[in-house]
Amino acid sequence: RRPRVVLGIESSCDDTGAAVVDEHGRVLGEALHSQKEEHLRTGGIIPHVAQALHRQHIARIVQEALEKSGLRASDLSAVATTVKPGLALSLSVGLEFTGTLLQGLPTPFIPVHHMEAHALTVRMVRPLPFPFLVLLVSGGHALLALARGVSDFLLLGQALDEAPGDSLDKIARRLSLAGHPECRAMGGGQAVEHLALQGDRLKFNLRTPMGRHLDCNFSFAGLRTQVERTIARLEQEEGVRDGQVLSCVADVCAAAQHAVCAHIAKRTHRAILFCKARSLLPERSPTLVVSGGVASNRYARQLLQVISDASGLELLCPPPRLCTDNGAMVAWNGIERLREGIGILPSPAGIRYQPKATF
């Protein structure tokens, strides 16, 4: 039998990604177009702009991934495409393109859940058995779940308002970090992390949210408002106007980063305690997998390492290129489903995308 190979297509948000992955988790070819710079200019994602950019790039990206793999569409075991959750206009582009690509071919189609794909990516690089705990923190989501199988997730908590990366991006914009000489070409979260290294987080007292909520959900909007109020107060004190940088910008970044990361770590700790109390994690090598763009924050990793060590869990972070949105994680989800024989369809005909899907 020839090894299985799957083409994965991702277009749920602002990245157009494609990759060909085999059943050993080897990436045979991949390509990615990120719209981040375009959206940075407009101050956020405008859905119809995202859709136009996906349309502009998807054919080239898929072709590039296929060419690098040396395979043709007819050589593939299946094509897997993200169909939920995400921006409706963005999801539609990936699904429609898949329809065109597979027209007239006998190749099966595998619809993919974006969050499940993120959660299983770690198994591409390491044979981690189920069950394990997953924390996903990015610009679009915050989520804690117990992964019990390829398509079996127990949702433990999620963001009730905005995602942590989104909050950090908004704070960075409010602080005009894009114009800061030390932060050129950095994303919002990355700029906050960089400046926080030089700051004193104890200069400002920010409350971590949801201290009394006995669940594992997240809330970052109130935290962001606290930071924005602090910035407004400081601007008045220093006589700083819009677009100018505060003298204590590093301290604000340090305090904001600490508050966001401490909240993430505390909710994760609750999830660990919950799983332990119900014996939901294996006794031998229980594992916490952390993924998403915010997972590349070193301060967040340090806090998560502390709670993992204290609870006897191993902390696993997939490499950064697999942590952010990409085609390989979608292809890998296709491989996992092929192996188990679940969710494999003869074609994408009649499949609809679901912007608001949960687990």
Binding site for ligand KG4 (CB under 6 A): 13, 138-140, 165-166, 168-169, 187-190, 193, 292-294, 296-297, 324-325
- What's the min distance (Å) between Cβ of 193 and Zn ion? 19
Q: What angle do CA 199, 201, 204 make, to 5 degrees?
A: 120
Q: Which is nearer to ligand KG4, 248 or 264 (CB)?
A: 264
Question: Quick one: tokens of 224?
Answer: 């962001």
Q: Which is nearer to Zn ion, 162 or 325 (CB)?
A: 325
| CB-facing half-sphere around the CA of 93: CA atoms within 13 A | 29
CA pair distance 98, 83, nearest whole angstrom: 11
- What's the min distance (Å) between Cβ of 222 and ligand KG4? 18
CA pair distance 95, 347, nearest whole angstrom: 11
94 binds, among ligand KG4, Zn ion, none (CB under 5 to 8 A by kind): none
Q: Which is nearer to ligand KG4, 51 or 296 (CB)?
A: 296
165 binds, among ligand KG4, Zn ion, none (CB under 5 to 8 A by kind): ligand KG4
Q: Which is nearer to ligand KG4, 10 or 22 (CB)?
A: 10
Q: What phi, psi does 93 have (nearest 5°)?
A: -65, -45
β-sheet bridge partners, residue 218: 159
199 binds, among Zn ion, ligand KG4, none (CB under 5 to 8 A by kind): none
Contacts of 320 (CB under 8 A, 6+ apart): 296
Q: Which is nearer to Zn ion, 116 or 325 (CB)?
A: 325
β-sheet bridge partners, residue 153: 147
- What's the min distance (Å) between Cβ of 169 and ligand KG4? 5
CA pair distance 258, 251, nearest whole angstrom: 11
CA pair distance 191, 256, nearest whole angstrom: 12
For every residue of 51-69, DSSP letters joined together read HHHHHHHHHHHHHHHHHHH
Amino acid in position 213: H
- What's the min distance (Å) between Cβ of 59 and ligand KG4? 22
3-state secondary structure of 14: coil
- What's the min distance (Å) between Cβ of 149 and ligand KG4? 24
190 binds, among ligand KG4, Zn ion, none (CB under 5 to 8 A by kind): ligand KG4
Q: How far is CA 206 from the centre of its chain?
A: 25
Q: Which is nearer to Zn ion, 304 or 322 (CB)?
A: 322
169 binds, among Zn ion, ligand KG4, none (CB under 5 to 8 A by kind): ligand KG4
CA pair distance 126, 136, nearest whole angstrom: 18
- What's the min distance (Å) between Cβ of 158 and Zn ion? 13
92 binds, among Zn ion, ligand KG4, none (CB under 5 to 8 A by kind): none
Q: Which is nearer to Zn ion, 86 or 209 (CB)?
A: 86
30 binds, among Zn ion, ligand KG4, none (CB under 5 to 8 A by kind): none
